[in-house]
Amino acid sequence: MSNIKGPLISSQRYLDKAKVNDRAARFKRFIVSVYPIVLRGQQYTILMDGHHNYAAAKLAGIEPDYRLITKKVQRILGEMSWREREAFFINNVTDSNYYFVETGEVVHELVMPDTSCKFQAHAGNQWIFGGAA
């Protein structure tokens, strides 16, 4: 778990239970992609990909294999300033507000959008542009 820094959070709650059960029964290794980041002064690790693998690992009683996001994604994120990256992650969520993966509790500090930096977000099938110029 050396790739985990701070609480593990996610903004994807949807899980296909059949997929989770199938993986728990068949897989021996459960790879999940994570990204450590400081958001609003607090260290978190975002579960970026592998939500079904994470749930299957927990169901099987096996520790997930936490891996950093791909080098390509790291490069893309690295082209943003720290502030742009922070605003990007705060303002772009999947199907829910960020929540603590272990408890399901919403991360209340990350509910409100970050408008202090130029950002774009996708909500309700519309792109929203805003923030400082």
Domain membership of residue 2 (yes or no) is no
Domain membership of residue 20 (yes or no) is yes
pTM of the model: 0.85
Domain membership of residue 107 (yes or no) is yes
Contact 47, 9 (CB under 8 A): yes
Residue ranges making up the domain that contains 87: 8-130
Domain membership of residue 44 (yes or no) is yes
Domain membership of residue 58 (yes or no) is yes
Q: What percentage of the chain has pLDDT greater than the value 70?
A: 87
Cβ contacts of 69 within 8 Å, gap of 6 or more: 33, 34, 35, 48, 49, 77
The distance in angstroms from the start CA to the end CA of the chain is 39
Give me the number of domains the chain comprises: 1
Domain membership of residue 19 (yes or no) is yes
Report pLDDT digits (tens) over 74-113. Answer: 998 998 899 989 999 998 888 999 999 999 999 999 999 8
Confidence of residue 133 (pLDDT cuts 50, 70, 90): very low
Domain membership of residue 3 (yes or no) is no
Domain membership of residue 59 (yes or no) is yes
